[in-house]
Amino acid sequence: MNYYFAPLEGVTGSEFRRAHHRYFPGVDAYYMPFLSPTQDHVFTQREKRNVLPEYNQGFRAVPQLLTKNAEDFVWCAGELAAMGYGEVNLNLGCPSGTVVAKGKGAGMLSDPEGLDRFLEAIFAKAPLNISLKTRLGLEDPEEFPRLLEIFGKYPVSLLILHPRVRTDFYKHPVRREWFRYAAEHYQGPLCFNGGLVTTGDCAQFAREFPAVGQIMIGQGLLANPALAGQARGGPGADKETLRAFHDELYRTYLDLFASQRNTVFHMKELWSYLSRLFEGAEKPLKRIRKASDSPGYEAAVEQMFALPLRAEADWT
């Protein structure tokens, strides 16, 4: 089984990817938070910090694009190919209201014929492999068979399916029966994404879909950075390694942002997941959430790391 780290905007940037790979090997590829190419055809400094190869050395990283403009996609794909990337991922799953209102992300699924024309244009001109990350549709999973028919027309390097519709966001249970439909009707490489957060979940999926060789995990790996290695039979996270991972990421953000407040803000998002790995995390997590500078944050983190560590994250 190949384990891929799902992109999470504002969390899994290049700084996170480097630290995670150093302390918790086992992820086969890190999919980057999306780039949004514009008609200006330039990368911002923030985008460069995410995508330039020197910031992603030692592990496989896959850029993701969010756009509905084929020309912008092809330009960006060409730039990425020149950097040495062999794959670019198209985001067809983002459920954000502002993204969907612009006809991007999951919004592209509302117009299958328009999506077909877009895919035809980018597959004809993009100089590297294209993978797709998609949902079942906008409002009704019955939209999916037509979408899958369209995807099947193109040489998609990997179809990553999050089996929810856009209106489900992340709340409705994953519709596993529709992933089974894809496994039975789609001829290309297929990857499952959604709701796998423990080693038991991964093992159950492998038993249920033995012919599917790829899974993508987001929240599960944020809550338990060792999950991919554990799922392969390796050890879970120990407190010393977890602390080293945290401290490196924290110091990197302090240097990068030159702001205690911004650094603490970024670390709070990670702790909303990572706290699940600690017994009795409620009080230190509340202190972390209230912290606005380094002294307050660091004191709360010391309190967190004094707690016992679970073998796996708690999702009850």
Domain residue spans of the chain: 2-230, 239-305
Joined tokens for residue 39 = 């008609």
Query: 39 pLDDT band (50/70/90 cuts)?
Result: confident
- Whether residue 7 is predicted with pLDDT greater than 90 in this model: the reply is yes
- pLDDT (mean) for 133-144: 97
- Whether residue 203 is predicted with pLDDT greater than 90 in this model: the reply is yes
Phi-psi region of 103 (alpha: psi -120 to 50; beta: other; left: phi over 0): left
* Distance, C-alpha 110 to centroid of its chain: 23
- Whether residue 43 is predicted with pLDDT greater than 90 in this model: the reply is yes
User: Other CB atoms closer than 10 Å to residue 286's CB: what's the count?
Assistant: 12
- pLDDT (mean) for 169-188: 95
- Whether residue 40 is predicted with pLDDT greater than 90 in this model: the reply is no
Query: 312 pLDDT band (50/70/90 cuts)?
Result: very high
**Rounded to whole angstroms, how far apart are CA atoms 141 and 165?**
6
Q: What is the pTM of this model?
A: 0.97
**Rounded to whole angstroms, how far apart are CA atoms 186 and 274?**
36
Q: Which of 156, 157, 134 is nearest to 147 (CA)?
A: 134
Topology adopted by domain 2-230? TIM Barrel (3.20.20)
